[in-house]
Structures are given as C-alpha cells and as structure tokens.
C-alpha cells in the first residue's frame, strides 16, 4: 500500500506543532531596538524561536493565499507589520491583509508579525489563514500588554437550544415558497428559528469562521454561506473563511443549498474563533438519503477497487469528486483506516 499524505503543512511555535485554530499568546516586552514595549512572533528570525509555517510533504511549495486579519485591537501600536515570503506589509488603517502566490523554500517560512511601540494596555487578537494546494489551516495570534482584556465565551445554538461542541445539525430538504427544493439553516430572520453563534461574555465585535465541505452527494444550483449578512457563494470551493461581526452579540449562520436536483446528502463543518476560543459544529443537509452500503465510497451500489482509488485520490490530492461515503469507521475524519476497512470488505474479512 503506498504511503498516504494526510496533511501538507502546519503551523509551529517554538518548534512545536499547533492544532488547527490554536492560539499563540505573546506578552509585550521591552525590545533592544529602542521601540519601547513590543510584541514579536519571531523575535530572533529563528525558525525554532517563533511562529513558522512548516511544510510536511515537500521542501518547496507555492502558497495559494495567506490572510492575516485583525479582529480586536486595544494596544494602539505605532507600527503593525506582517512579513512572509520575503515581502513585508504594513496594516496602517487596514484590518486585513492578503498575500498571494509566494513560495515556501527549504521547508518552512517565518511568520513575522510585529506590534512595535505599543501605546496602551490591552490586547490585539488576529487570525492567520494559509492555503497550500487547496488545503487550509488557521492559527490565532494574541498580543497582550498589561490588562489583557476580556476572555471570550460563545456557543452555537439551533432553534434557541445550545449545541455541544462538535454536535451535528441535520436539516432535510423542503420546498420553499417558490416550490424550489432547498436546505437552509435559517429559514427566517428569527434568531430562534435557525442556527446562530451566540456571544456569552467578553467585549468582542466579531470573529473568524471557516466552513468546510466534507462530503457531498447532492446536485444543486447554488451553495451559499452568510455570517451576519456577509455572504459568499462556494462555487467550486470546498472550504471558505470569512471575518464576521456580531449584531447584538449574535451572528446568524445562513448556510443554504438551493435547487437540489438529486437524492443524497451534504456534510460540512463550521469552525469559529472568537478571542482565542474556538468551537466547531457539523451541518448535514439531506434529501431522501439512501442508507450507505459499507465500503461503497463512490455511491454506485457496489464495493470494488474503484472505492479504494476514490479514497486514495481524496487523501493524496484532496479530490472528493467521486466520494460520497468516505468515513467508513464513523470517527468524523477520513484516514488510511477507512481504506483498510474497504480492503477487508473486498477480501470478505
């Protein structure tokens, strides 16, 4: 069996791997350049002494896009800059900067995020996302000086009821008022009639969220995701990230699959980060979903080597076009274990 590459890259801090969505907290210190109190993600430009993006599968790769977004800032630094891929950018009056098509050489790339000559006590909270070969990872960065500000507490709610972290909301397709078959997390403007993110404590104006399509066996016209009125169309994407605001401590999650034309299901994962805290829920849209046959990855009703190939293509290349039932062991992720299960089914074990 050939080796499987489950992940292309990751973020590391002081040489240690960071879980996706983890928060790196850095306290301000008096620097040696006379800028007063400052925060640096890489104070010595040493890959093992700060924050880096680390390649796991090759020594050189082109980064599709990286975005650094300032969510909250009460520090008022004189200079706020970000350097990656040999290019430095200054935030000035901006709250989000994006770099496209820069290379990672020799296996890692320093993340130079600097807040220099801090003017006031407080904190700065930012989110960095990067995409390589269609795979996206995220890390949160929190700078603090003196008073650190409020800690965030939030939860997802569905129809007014709190959801446990990692819970799944299942929504069957229904005809809308125009007779179009649709699945939607928020059928009305009532926050108690659908899916919302509720801020419970902390003085935060917004956060960052990522919606990822895990499996899709539906044919539809459009797939749209909105957070507090900020909307994006998925198009050919399988993962999208957005910065969202709170309105009266609530962010409405409108995830809508419009004009469904086939039986099956679509499963997605929504992850949100607010003030260094991250929560995740799963969303499943269904229309006359047929019971899955164990081992039948591509949904053709049989279990053959074609199903093994479909899983290989997903794990190696991120190709989910022929996969409708990949998670064979039901652990919420697709790994080489699922391939082993299919082999055993084919062999009659």
Residue 116: its pLDDT value, please? 92
What's the mean pLDDT in 56-63? 74
Percent residues over pLDDT 90 in the chain: 35
pLDDT band at 5 (very low <50, low <70, confident <90, very high): very low
Q: What residue ranges define each of the domains in the chain, with the CATH number in brackets?
A: 9-145 (2.60.40), 153-287 (2.60.40), 305-347 (no CATH)
Structure tokens at 90: 């200054």
pLDDT band at 321 (very low <50, low <70, confident <90, very high): low
With contact defined as beta carbons under 8 Å apart, do 153 and 133 qualify?
no
Residue 72: its pLDDT value, please? 78
Residue 182: its pLDDT value, please? 95
What's the mean pLDDT in 183-195? 91
pLDDT at 242 over 90: no
**Ramachandran quadrant class, 35 (left: phi over 0; alpha: psi -120 to 50; beta: rest):** alpha
Highest mean pLDDT pick, 35-49, 83-97, 245-259, 313-327: 245-259
Residue 320: its pLDDT value, please? 61
End-to-end Cα spacing for the chain: 18
The structure tokens 């050489």 sit at 105
What's the mean pLDDT in 3-31? 81
Residue 278's alpha-carbon distances to 19, 194, 195, 272, 343, in angstroms, are 11, 21, 17, 6, 36
What's the mean pLDDT in 228-241? 88
Q: What are phi and psi of 160, to 5 degrees?
A: 85, -5
The three-class DSSP label of residue 87 is strand
Residue 290: its pLDDT value, please? 59
What's the mean pLDDT in 198-218? 86
Contacts of 205 (CB under 8 A, 6+ apart): 71, 72, 245, 246
Q: Which of 93, 86, 91, 75 is nearest to 37 (CA)?
A: 75
What's the mean pLDDT in 67-71? 87
What's the mean pLDDT in 238-251? 88
d(CA 76, CA 92): 11
**Strands across the sheet containing 61-73:** 23-27, 135-145, 122-132, 61-73, 96-104
Residue 179: its pLDDT value, please? 86
pLDDT band at 63 (very low <50, low <70, confident <90, very high): confident
pLDDT band at 319 (very low <50, low <70, confident <90, very high): low
Residue 186: its pLDDT value, please? 93
Residue 289: its pLDDT value, please? 65
Mean pLDDT, all residues of the chain: 85
Residue 175's alpha-carbon distances to 97, 212, 224, in angstroms, are 41, 25, 17
pLDDT band at 34 (very low <50, low <70, confident <90, very high): low
Check the CA dihedral 325-328-332-333 and report its sign.
Answer: negative
Neighbours of 293 (CB within 10 A): 15
Residue 249: its pLDDT value, please? 92
pLDDT at 46 over 80: no
pLDDT band at 52 (very low <50, low <70, confident <90, very high): very high
pLDDT at 6 over 60: no
Residue 158: its pLDDT value, please? 96
pLDDT band at 215 (very low <50, low <70, confident <90, very high): confident
pLDDT at 219 over 60: yes
């Amino acid at each position: 069996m050939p080796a499987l590459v489950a992940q292309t890259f990751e973020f590391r801090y002081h040489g240690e791997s960071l879980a996706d969505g983890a928060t790196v907290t850095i306290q301000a210190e008096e620097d040696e350049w006379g800028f007063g109190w400052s925060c640096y993600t890489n104070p010595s430009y040493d890959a093992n002494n700060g924050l880096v993006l680390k390649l796991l599968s090759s020594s050189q790769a082109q980064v599709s896009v990286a975005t650094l977004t300032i969510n909250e800032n009460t520090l008022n630094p004189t200079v706020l800059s970000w350097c990656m891929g040999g290019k430095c950018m200054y935030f000035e009056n901006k709250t989000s900067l994006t770099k496209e098509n820069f290379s990672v050489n020799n296996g890692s790339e320093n993340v130079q995020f600097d807040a220099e000559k801090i003017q006031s006590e407080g904190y700065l909270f930012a989110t960095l996302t990067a995409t390589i070969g269609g795979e996206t990872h995220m890390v949160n960065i929190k700078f603090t000086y003196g008073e650190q500000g409020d800690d965030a507490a939030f939860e997802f709610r569905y129809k007014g009821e709190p959801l446990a972290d990692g819970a799944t909301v299942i929504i069957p397709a229904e005809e809308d008022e125009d007779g179009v078959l649709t699945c939607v997390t928020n059928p009305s403007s009532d926050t108690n009639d659908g899916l919302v993110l509720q801020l419970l404590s902390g003085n935060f104006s917004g956060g960052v969220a990522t919606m990822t399509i895990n499996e899709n066996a539906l044919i539809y016209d459009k797939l749209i995701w909105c957070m507090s009125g900020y909307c994006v169309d998925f198009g050919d994407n399988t993962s999208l990230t957005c910065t969202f605001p709170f309105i009266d401590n609530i962010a409405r999650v409108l995830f809508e699959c419009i004009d469904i034309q086939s039986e099956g299901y679509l499963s997605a994962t929504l992850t949100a980060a607010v003030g260094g805290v991250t929560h995740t829920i799963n969303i499943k849209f269904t229309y006359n979903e047929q019971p899955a046959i164990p081992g039948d990855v591509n949904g053709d009703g049989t279990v053959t080597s074609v199903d093994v190939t479909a899983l290989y293509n997903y794990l190696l290349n991120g190709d989910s076009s022929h996969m409708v039932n990949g998670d064979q062991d039901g652990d919420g992720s697709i790994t080489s274990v699922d391939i082993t299960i299919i082999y055993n089914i084919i062999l009659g074990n």
